[in-house]
């Protein structure tokens, strides 16, 4: 996993937001975002001296970014895991998509209130990008929080039935039309004429909030860990949004 050395990444702890720009610390944190690791695994991955890694791990623990525990199989070994949430990073500013959406805001300002608010939401999303911040992780996290708190309002008891109910809920709220529910792999496909007409093709998905809401509803209602990933999107040039659901 390669990380540019000029990035600053943001992590949320119970004490607040912590910024990290040390390349070695970022290597460690991004490794732990995948899974818990032993001290020796971290040393091997970073290719740094044990003394260097020990200092960085102690600093990261002090900042509440990771937790240390004894390996159940061997109490002499230490296991490290992420105890914070990755929330985004700095990036090179990209103004093109933001400027395009500002034009849409102006077009819809007096004619269509719903389209105007939709344009404003997406302008906020790409406004962070324009000013050098990748805020996709925090947008998805907020979506998960919303979905989790919404989950009690749903009735279905299986992933397939719940996804269909979620699709109908999104449709009733004006967030597109449920056009297909696939089971292999489990996927939700939604069409949204407004996005098709107004959103720029950026080469990557941009529906992080919807991704999070769907994930939060599934986790909250079914009491299991799911991961929702948008695989196809208007932002990737497709005529729909397709969310793939994985059991974590």
CATH code for the domain in which residue 37 is found: 1.10.10.10
Q: Which of 111, 134, 157 is the last residue of a domain?
A: 134
How do residues 122-144 score in pLDDT, each as one tens digit? Answer: 888 889 999 999 999 999 999 99
**Could you tell me if residue 73 is inside a domain?**
yes
**3-class secondary-structure state, position 82:** strand
Burial label, 10 (beta-carbon count in 10 A; 0-12, 13-18, 19+) = buried
Q: Between the CA atoms of 232, 3, 53 and 248, what dihedral angle is there, to the nearest 10 degrees?
A: 0
On whether both 50 and 129 belong to a single domain, the answer is no
Give, in order, the Cα–Cα distances in Å from 107 to each of 102, 193, 195, 198.
9, 16, 14, 10
Q: Which of 134, 167, 192 is the last residue of a domain?
A: 134
**Could you tell me if residue 123 is inside a domain?**
yes
pTM: 0.83
Domain tally for the chain? 3
Q: How far apart are CA 202 and CA 99, in angstroms?
A: 13
**Could you tell me if residue 51 is inside a domain?**
yes
Domain that holds residue 202: 145-247
**Could you tell me if residue 231 is inside a domain?**
yes
Give, in order, the Cα–Cα distances in Å from 65 to each of 15, 19, 114, 189.
10, 10, 40, 36
On whether both 121 and 190 belong to a single domain, the answer is no
On whether both 60 and 110 belong to a single domain, the answer is no
pLDDT in tens, the chain (248 residues): 444 457 899 999 999 999 999 999 999 999 999 899 999 999 999 999 999 999 999 999 999 999 999 988 887 889 999 999 999 999 999 898 888 888 877 776 667 777 777 778 888 888 999 999 999 999 999 999 999 999 999 999 999 899 989 988 887 766 667 767 777 788 988 887 566 666 778 888 888 999 999 999 999 999 999 999 999 988 888 888 899 999 87
């Amino acid at each position: 996993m390669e990380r540019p050395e000029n990035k600053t990444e943001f992590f949320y702890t119970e004490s607040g937001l912590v910024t990290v720009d040390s390349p070695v610390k970022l290597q460690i944190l991004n490794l732990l975002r995948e899974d818990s690791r032993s001290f020796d695994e971290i040393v091997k991955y970073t290719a740094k001296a044990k003394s260097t890694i020990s200092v960085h791990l102690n600093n990261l623990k002090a900042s509440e970014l990771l937790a240390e525990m004894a390996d159940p199989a061997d109490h002499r070994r230490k296991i490290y895991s992420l105890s914070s949430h990755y929330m985004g990073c700095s990036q090179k500013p990209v103004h093109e998509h933001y400027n395009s959406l500002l034009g849409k805001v102006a077009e819809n300002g007096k004619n269509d209130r719903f389209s105007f608010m939709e344009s404003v939401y997406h302008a906020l999303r790409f406004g962070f990008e324009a000013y050098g911040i990748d805020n996709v992780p925090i947008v998805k996290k907020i979506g998960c929080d919303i979905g989790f708190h919404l989950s009690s309002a749903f009735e279905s008891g299986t992933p397939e039935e719940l996804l269909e109910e979620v699709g109908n809920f999104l449709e009733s709220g004006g967030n597109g039309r449920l056009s297909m529910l696939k089971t292999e792999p489990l996927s939700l496909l939604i069409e949204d004429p407004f996005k098709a007409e107004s959103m720029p093709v950026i080469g990557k998905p941009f529906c992080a909030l919807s991704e999070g809401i769907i994930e939060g509803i599934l986790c909250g209602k079914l009491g299991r860990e799911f991961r929702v990933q948008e695989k196809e999107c208007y932002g990737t040039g497709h005529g729909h949004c397709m969310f793939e659901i994985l059991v974590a």
